[in-house]
Chains A and B, each alone.
Chain A
Amino acid sequence: MTVEELPLREVPGPSALGGGWRRSLDLLYLMAVTEFKRTYFGTVLGYLWSLCRPLMLFGVMLVVFTHLLRFSTVVHYPVLLLMNIVLFGFFQEATNAAVPSIVSNEGIVRKTQFPRLVIPLSVVLTSLFNLALNLTVVFAFVLGFGITPRWTWLLLPLLILILLVFSTAVAMILSSLYPRFRDVMIIWSVVSTTLFYASPVLYPLQKLSGPTQTVVALNPLTPILELARRWLIDPAAPVSGGTLRIAVPVFVYAAVVAAAVWIFRREAPRIAEAL
């Protein structure tokens, strides 16, 4: 028998990224891909569903808002509406799916050595795959409406990155609190619906006035949607300015990310015991 001397190493213990970066990345990739496949493979239309969902929502909204509320004065309103739905849809899908993610993966959390952070991240990553597919449709519409490509299109990944980081932070908070507070799911479904209406998804911010406009302007998702509109669709679109209206969302991003890291690090080692 060959006695190969393996050095003794301290076991990592349960944590957000236990088992090393490499393994966490492998697991993240595999979980996201399999979840993506799982969602669409069982269905007749497959990946097409991923596209159909926002398109159908878009169709309904388009009828309501161009015929009933007459937003037709807004430049390229249908394209704007579709883009907003796709971007907000990503945030909504990622966060809502993240809430029960750790609890529904109870088996692997309680019975294997598993980096906890990978679970909410994989949910966000799955949604990101969807977003990538949906954005191709948005671009098809953008070109279809005769909008000429401009260099500012290249800035879009920056916005997606901010949206991704923000969604991930929210997903981390929700998924780590849910095992202990089961109300999180209900609360978040209400909050995310509220956010939908309190973001300039269906309407441009300028259609609002007074305190309502201020409130919506302070929404952390507002600058993302407004900048996307200006950079992608209508360079003349107004963007709400003012120190406060920039400072508040930036502060919210930083606070949410900091809270996410703090809460997740605190909860991760004990999640298996709370399940």
Chain B
Amino acid sequence: MRTRRSDRLAQAPVAIEVRGVDKTFQIPRHRIDSLKERLTHPFTRQEYRTLQALHDISFDVRKGEFFGILGRNGSGKSTLLKIMASIYRPDAGRVRVAGRLAPFIELGVGFNPELSSRENVQLNGVLMGLSRREAARRLDAVLDFAELREFADLKLKNYSSGMMVRLAFAVMVEADADVMLVDEVLAVGDAAFSQKCLSVFSELRDRGRTIVLVTHDMPTAQRFCDRAMLIHDSELQYFGDIEETALRYYRLNFGGDVDEIRRAGMLPDVHARVLDVWLENSNRERVQNVEQNQPFVFNCLIEARRPLEEPVFSFQFLNDEGVELAGFTKFLDLPDGRRDSLLAGQQVLVSGEIDNSFLPGRYHLSAWVVRNRTAGDWAFHELRLLEFTVYGTDMGPGSIKLRENVQAVVLTPEEGE
């Protein structure tokens, strides 16, 4: 599937074409904000510090691609996004886009708390490039997606923050632009939220939309992006394979000695990645949350990016404070005579039923993969792979219900017996 996807993308037409983009900001050394300062010092020319934000950036993004713009804070990646979104004007170079483009730099930009969600949705639709009629036509779809139809006429200021987020998401999904530019700040917030945010985007990607994600979070980029580029000190450092981009990013950050750091276990490697992870209830339906005392089925689909010798897969359940509670480690289940190794591109499904002895609460799943079992090289390590809630009424101390057979028995016979 994966490889076919990348072949298909290589054939796809270009959706975004960026050529030789330069951008310099003039930052006043001492900002003159008032006329008085200008009048009292009429001849002192305002002193500017020039900040080169982008220098000679050129690249193409293909239609249907999930493309990452990676770089450290201040490398110029957000500036690039804003130039592509027509918010800043480049000093030189040009950007061409096929179809309608919508930037998502912040969730719910332009929402007016004094207006009803009906009005806000329409205004936002037009803001994202729909015509007024088109925005009105999609109003119902947006409200349905957000499950807020009955609150359509409620002013936004009376919405709970959860409802607001749902509405903003719905607007975004239904805006249905051909090209979407997404800033990482969108994904800031709690883990569950950013997870949801990104899964919405990967869903849109599967519908053939072109998505550009600006981020400095490598695990996220590795998980979602087809290709990526690395910007460093306002220049394009690398363009192409996502794993290679991520590796170069780590080299930049850790001064080249990646292997050292990797051995210390601080760094995710790029030899494997999780394609999907999900839970199912006993009826084999995908669920977000599981009921207390009900067994659930755990599934994790992992792909080898490079050949993996003697891989080990390990999963840990953590509570909300990040304390490890339980876990399991698996080797490949090998038929007789098969080599204990994976080729690049091979997929492994780690799956099975788990007896649920968690008490009600929120839990996280983290995972790591090791290759060369005896040497123990990290192939992959991801914290907070999945987050889920166990619901139920049987509360207790701690996080896990012990399977015990303990009784309280009175020993001393009562007086007068």
Interface residues of A (CB under 8 A from B): 1, 3, 5-14, 18-19, 22-23, 26-27, 29-31, 34, 37-38, 41-42, 107-114, 180-183, 187, 269-270, 272-273
Please determine whether A182 and B33 come into contact, CB atoms closer than 8 angstroms.
Answer: yes
Compute how far the CA of A31 lies from the CA of B110 in the bound complex, rounded to whole angstroms.
11
Given known contacts A5-B13, A34-B115, is B127 in contact with A112 (CB within 8 Å)?
A: yes
In the complex, besides A8-B98, A26-B132, A183-B34, 18 extra interface pairs with C-beta distance below 8 angstroms are A6-B63, A6-B98, A11-B95, A13-B90, A14-B89, A23-B126, A30-B126, A30-B132, A37-B119, A107-B106, A109-B87, A111-B87, A112-B87, A112-B109, A113-B86, A113-B103, A269-B89, A273-B25
Please determine whether B119 and A34 come into contact, CB atoms closer than 8 angstroms.
Answer: yes
Contact of A6 among B84, B109, B110, B178 (CB under 8 A): B178
Contacts of B87 in A (CB 8 A): 14, 109-113, 272
A-B contact count (CB 8 A): 117
Q: Which of B100-114 contact A (CB under 8 A)?
A: 101-103, 105-106, 109-110, 112, 114
Contacts of B102 in A (CB 8 A): 113
Contacts of B174 in A (CB 8 A): none
Compute how far the CA of A187 lies from the CA of B35 in the bound complex, rounded to whole angstroms.
10
Please determine whether A9 and B86 come into contact, CB atoms closer than 8 angstroms.
Answer: no
Please determine whether A11 and B106 come into contact, CB atoms closer than 8 angstroms.
Answer: no
Contact of B103 among A13, A29, A111, A273 (CB under 8 A): A111
Contacts of B98 in A (CB 8 A): 6-9
Please determine whether A27 and B127 come into contact, CB atoms closer than 8 angstroms.
Answer: yes
Interface centre among B102, B123, B131, B208 (most CB of A within 10 A): B123
Contacts of B34 in A (CB 8 A): 181-183
Q: How far is the CB of B257 from chain A (nearest CB, A)?
A: 38
Q: For the complex of A and B, list the 10 residue pairs with the smallest distance between their C-beta atoms, beginning with the closest.
A: A6-B98, A8-B96, A6-B99, A111-B105, A26-B132, A111-B109, A269-B89, A113-B86, A108-B110, A13-B89
Given known contacts A23-B131, A113-B86, A269-B89, is B115 in contact with A9 (CB within 8 Å)?
A: no
Compute how far the CA of A13 lies from the CA of B89 in the bound complex, rounded to whole angstroms.
5
Q: How big is the B interface, by class? A: 35 or more
Contacts of A38 in B (CB 8 A): 112, 114-115
Least CB separation from A180: chain B residue: B33
Q: Which of B56-91 contact A (CB under 8 A)?
A: 63-64, 82, 84-90
Contacts of A269 in B (CB 8 A): 89
Compute how far the CA of A14 lies from the CA of B64 in the bound complex, rounded to whole angstroms.
26
Least CB separation from A113: chain B residue: B86
Least CB separation from B34: chain A residue: A183
Compute how far the CA of A42 lies from the CA of B112 in the bound complex, rounded to whole angstroms.
14
Contacts of A19 in B (CB 8 A): 86, 129
Contacts of B8 in A (CB 8 A): 1
Please determine whether B95 and A10 come into contact, CB atoms closer than 8 angstroms.
Answer: yes
Contact of A1 among B96, B97, B103, B208 (CB under 8 A): B208
Least CB separation from A182: chain B residue: B33
Contacts of B25 in A (CB 8 A): 273
Compute how far the CA of A107 lies from the CA of B87 in the bound complex, rounded to whole angstroms.
11
Compute how far the CA of A37 lies from the CA of B119 in the bound complex, rounded to whole angstroms.
11
Q: Does B14 make an interface contact (CB < 8 A)?
A: yes
Q: How far is the CB of A22 from chain B (nearest CB, A)?
A: 7
